[in-house]
């Protein structure tokens, strides 16, 4: 069963409230009048199933959800070869290292690179 169901009329916006790109994207989406359901990964813990589903929806490996250039990652970790479960645990315990923001609408999921990407969904 999918945990991240998102109706076609609403965008589920997964982001970190500390991210300037996420703040800009959210403001852009609001200005465009897009209906948004917010999910701040710093305030709401993602389940392992949700993390795996996000990776699957983006057609990437779970380890590719980790921003290995993020200061928290470089400060806390060395480059690793880990199992999927270990990558999931790493994201759960250090959500700020997850690549984001991510937008989900219906069956479409995108990793936002620039704020205007939100209109692609």
User: How far is residue 90's CA from residue 27's CA, in Å, rounded to a whole number?
Assistant: 29
Under DSSP, the state recorded for 109 is: E
Task: Note the pLDDT tens digit of each residue in 22-40.
Answer: 999 999 998 888 899 999 9
Is this model's pTM higher than 0.95 or not?
no
Q: Which CATH number is associated with domain 11-120?
A: 3.40.30.10
Across the range 82-109, mean pLDDT stands at 95
> Where in the chain are the domains?
11-120
Task: Note the pLDDT tens digit of each residue in 15-26.
Answer: 999 999 999 999
Closest CA to 50 of 22, 16, 14: 14
């Amino acid at each position: 069963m999918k945990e991240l169901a998102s109706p076609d009329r609403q965008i589920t916006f997964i982001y970190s409230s500390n991210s300037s790109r996420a703040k800009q994207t959210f403001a852009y989406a609001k200005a465009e009048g897009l209906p948004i359901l917010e999910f701040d990964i710093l305030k709401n813990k993602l389940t392992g199933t949700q993390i795996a589903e996000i990776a699957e929806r983006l057609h990437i490996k779970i380890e590719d959800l980790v921003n290995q250039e993020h200061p928290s990652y470089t400060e806390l970790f060395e480059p690793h070869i880990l199992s999927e479960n270990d990558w999931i645990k790493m994201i759960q315990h250090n959500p700020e290292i997850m690549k984001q923001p991510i937008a989900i609408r219906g069956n479409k999921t995108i990793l936002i690179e620039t704020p205007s990407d939100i209109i692609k969904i």
